[in-house]
Structure 1
């Protein structure tokens, strides 16, 4: 590598005016002495230019060129001044190699491409996995939430009454079984029964009001075990709705991690155990569980409907009244349809998330590539212009220098185009794969929901 020191000689002139009152001979002698001691108009004063160190600028690959630290090149980019560079390189001769000339151009006016090299080396072509289920998609990528569904089943004595010739508890059990069996496999379910002990007599009130039992613990759905749990109780006593809601909160509080907690209460009447289910539903909704309380009122009289509606409102849920077996089944079918539609929405949101992520990174690649290529053209043009000037003034081998300039610039642009194109292909391929997986999962979940609902 070449290291050189250029010297710039700056012409300076000083015009001395002398005044005197002495005789002509003395005046002439004084002028001669002054001229001998002072610089003349043609005397040169040497000012040394900072030496141009090219020892650290050698490279053999495009990647090495992109990694060169040229942050301190005094005339790069917008700071470029052709005359200043030529002045620095005024001592070039035909003995100087093309490489030495090119490296000195780099040291003085080369572009620093390290920012582009860092960008292109760290492009992330991976994609965030689709959320596990509906309700988990946002722009930043939320942690996967577990969906927990708790069914609170009223087994008070009034549930033994017939509606349309069928016992209410039988219709309710069949509808709940059909609904739960159609839920996504990823959902946890539980079944809590209340009022299923004692009788509706005053003597048994205490026993009945304390009868709250989780007959199917919160966890993955098992058809056989869930059906057995439904068959394990019969209509009996009073209606401790508030205590049943408090029990559900305890079960939710035992869960770890992020979760979406939904409660479905199937009841045919209002609280009869002196509890406050409205307050309890509000507390449940505002607790760490943030549970949503939905109420299905089955053949409920007016006063009972009002209370149950208030409970649902306090729990940020919905109240639905059903009068017979068909309406109860229709309610749960509607819930299944709602969940199917949520999977359509889930599919759309996840597809849009992938498209957005893919498009943003591809566009950024185009922007960075274009900016880099334009910078290489600017550098190439400036260096060639310098070579022509130096070829004429210093008789360097301009053709050899320009060949080196062109080869380096072409290699850098080819590297940028090929690398950027490969990364864009990888992003498009990854995006397509993720979209296909998302569509397949959404379709599979919807078909499973439809089959289970039939």
Structure 2
């Protein structure tokens, strides 16, 4: 009977707060917002005026929140929202990770205006906002995945007699940073090796490394900025020789990205784009640091008779870095993807591997199967929708729990909590509408309209949200 009474009480508590819960359809069971109830039972909230000391209301308490970007949900905003410092955690299971967030917050004055509370809400969201896959990335992957489709307008993606691949790998000091227990460099090397291990014998492969000399100190800047070296010249893939080349360098200095792009252009000057498919893969974890202009270098390379397909993979790149690398890809009519771990990096190279396999089949006189492209687009769109829903569920739940925790810590009043939760529910609905709009944009694409649609997607989603 005692157990039954406790179960009944728990159900009543859940029902009582259900009108303010985030959408749990795609969230894990651990994210049900019962923790807020237990917190309040342990430490009952005081009267609404107890968290308002006169010195706080007179001070510049709002300054902490004022710089957070405004939450103005739209398809464009959602695709570009910056990742917050607590994005990877779940408050319901890792609430200790959020202790620093609350320690740095003062109580909100009881007479705070709605405009000021909106800034508090913006700040909360900025701390837990998640980085979502840019729709441009999906469209770019479809171009690579549709390699060989005769309906593609971009002739660079048509089958050519020769296939050349050059990989440009960043060896600046930051590539020594850890990614899931391994350095970024270790992860990159493993992914590159996996990509090329089954490369057709008649495909040409090259590897160029940059930033691998000196250190990140100012004294070594000149040395490091001049370091860009082809460690494996164009040839068929030889695993022993290529592995030796990969192991010949480690993270070291600065990032001469512009110079490296121009040298890669020189590397490929003998491969005319009319008879060669020329693939460039850039793996970098940051922006140019050697005073060059990588955007202009990428544009110059793309406009040459080499007609390269420039694919840029950003490895856990910050906002400024993503902006520059995206601009490089855009000016080169190439592709850009940002990855955070080995699985995502391997996934990007898997797409490249699939394109190489299609070329191999074509060389063996196999016909191109166009119907697989539409099937891939359908599956990718559904996968992206699931990613958005599930990832945003973490953001929504974290926002919910933080608001509740602020009240239990007596940093906001009950009325302020109510206002913030109403704001949260409004934003969640806007998110659902934005997701639906993004998926509709993607569902309308086919091979014949892929190039034009890519331009439209770029114009729509390539926006600064700050």
TM-score (norm 1): 0.45
Q: Work out which of the two has the higher radius of gyration on C-alpha atoms and give 1 or 2.
A: 1
TM-score (norm 2): 0.43
Higher relative contact order (CA 8 A, sep 6+): 2
